[in-house]
Amino acid sequence: MKAAGFRFLRARCVAEALALKAEHGEDARFIAGGQSLVPALNLRLLEPRALIDIAGLPELTGIRVERGRLVIGALTRHAALTGDPLVAAHAPLLLEALPYVAHAAIRNRGTFGGSIALADPAAEWPACCLALDATMVLTGPHAEGERRVPATEFFRGLYATALGPDDLLLRVEIPCQPAGTRNAALELARRHGDFAIVGVAATASDRELKDARIAFFGVADRPMRFAEVERALAVEGVSAAAEALARQVDPPADLYHSAATKRHLAGVLLRRAVDRLRGAA
Amino acid sequence: MDEEIELAFTLNGKAVRRRVPVRLHAVDLLREVFGLSGPRVACEHGICGACTLRVDGQLARGCLLLAPQLEGTDVWTIEGLTATGEIADLQNEFHARNAMQCGWCTAGMLITAAEILDAPAPMDRQAIREHLSGNYCRCTGYQAIVDAVEATRQARAAGRSAA
């Protein structure tokens, strides 16, 4: 299908983007890479009267380190993470997850921040943000300046986040991981590059896994950590953690996979992730 | 009445400028306005890869780019890549193996495969398949397509080491 008509407004700075949004209100949507928005336009799931193009805002692009945090501008394209030395040094989990993010053609256009703002429950970056204790930095049109929202409070439900309708995600800040941090990103999908059936993004400071942070995606309406699973892993080991997961996780069925299948697959991925964190796989 | 913009970009090496509706996606723009039938319209939501283009040197989905997003870019379609001869060897390998049935996916397959022909690291068939995983062939011709890509990569690597 074809997109319905809209006006195309190009913002040159954040202030102008917010002003345009305030002017056009609910009838307007921000467009960055457009790799999720344009399908929705083509399918006419969305018919905004105006698109505000933010792709050219220079202040929202790029990767840097600031005060012990890896800062990723919202407009940084997925492909730009490939081989980035700062990401490799300070948040290598992202590089483990990167090959699972869509296909090469999509990674070249889609943005890191766009994926997080959309908050698809089966997407990789929101789960990585949760595992890495990231903070989202937002701004809005109401002159309140910047707001900082931790990942635990940012993802609120199915495609629902702490972003208000007129808010803009500026950047994501990730505490620099100490050298030697263990990481594992794994997922199962019907076709390489598709959204995950079930996935996991996990990190731990060492092989003991006393402080593992294990975020699952595709198992709920948002990325999820399960305190009981992480505690069982630290105290009793992987079998107890898998049992805790089976008790805790309550995945929604999709077209192809029942809730029971997804629960089983989550357990399989937990075991694989633990092997990988321990360096056995 | 559709809003229009004055759009200027480079298409297959030539500067072009046209007044176009903003709501056109790049495939419709290239087909309907510029008369290029290489980029295919198929799923129109980024799943199948039949509309794959090279934009600023990188793969992109034509159906997921709106006309205004092409402003100032350097766009190549299969027509342009054929004219330069850049992928003539790949096209010959496809031809030799009949690596297509209906041909609908072929332009997208060729443009996607072109990106890995000169990748320096060795690439096994699994890696080639993963690179092509964003391009559907509904005639199930993948085996011959992977054969053609692998053969072209090997021939180019042999050519480099001989040179």
**Which of chain B's residues have a Cβ under 8 Å away from the Cβ of A38?**
25, 46, 63-66
**A182-278 is classed CATH 2.40.50.140:** no
Integer-rounded Cα Rg, in Å, for chain A is 19
Contact status of A149 with chain B (Cβ, < 8 Å): no
How do the domains of chain A map onto residue ranges?
Answer: 7-53, 62-175, 182-278
| CATH C-level class of A7-53 | alpha beta
Map residue B26 onto helix, strand or coil: helix
Q: Do A42 and B44 touch (CB under 8 A)?
A: yes
> How many whole angstroms separate alpha carbon B24 and alpha carbon A5?
9
Cβ-based burial of B13 (10 A; exposed 0-12, middle 13-18, buried ≥19): exposed
Q: What is the pLDDT of residues B95-117, one digit of tens each?
A: 999 999 999 999 999 999 999 99
SS3 for B46-101 is CCCCCCEEEECCEEEEHHHCEHHHHCCCEEECHHHHHHHCCCHHHHHHHHHHCCCC
> How many whole angstroms separate alpha carbon A138 and alpha carbon A141?
11
For residue B127, pLDDT over 80 is answered with: yes
Contact status of A7 with chain B (Cβ, < 8 Å): yes
**Which of chain A's residues have a Cβ under 8 Å away from the Cβ of B59?**
104-105, 108
CB-nearest partner of A34 from B64, B115, B129: B64
> How many whole angstroms separate alpha carbon A201 and alpha carbon A127?
6
For residue B154, pLDDT over 50 is answered with: yes
**Which of chain B's residues have a Cβ under 8 Å away from the Cβ of A108?**
55, 58-60
Q: What is the pLDDT of residue A281?
A: 45
A27 secondary structure, DSSP code: G
Map residue B40 onto helix, strand or coil: coil
Q: Give the right CATH number for A62-175 from 3.30.465.10, 3.30.360.10, 3.40.50.300, 1.10.167.10.
A: 3.30.465.10
CB-nearest partner of A193 from B2, B63, B134: B134
CB-nearest partner of A8 from B5, B46, B64: B5
Q: What is the pLDDT of residue A280?
A: 58
**Chain A interface mutation, best of B129, B133, B137, B142, highest count of A Cβ atoms under 10 Å:** B133
- CATH fold of B4-81 reads Ubiquitin-like (UB roll) (3.10.20)
How do the domains of chain B map onto residue ranges?
Answer: 4-81, 86-162
* ipTM of this complex: 0.93
> Which residue in A87, A149, A85 sits closest to A119, CA to CA?
A149
For residue B13, pLDDT over 90 is answered with: yes
Q: Give the right CATH number for B86-162 from 3.30.1490.100, 3.30.465.10, 1.10.150.120, 1.20.1260.10.
A: 1.10.150.120
Residue B140's pLDDT band, with cuts at 50, 70 and 90, is confident
A186 secondary structure, DSSP code: E
CA distance B20 to chain A (A): 12
Q: What is the pLDDT of residues A243-267, one digit of tens each?
A: 999 999 999 999 899 999 999 999 9
For residue B123, pLDDT over 80 is answered with: yes
Residue numbers in chain A where pLDDT is lower than 50? 281
Nearest CA in chain A to B4: A7
Domain A7-53 identical in fold to domain A182-278? no
Instruction: Report CA torsion sign: A269, A82, A74, A34.
Output: negative
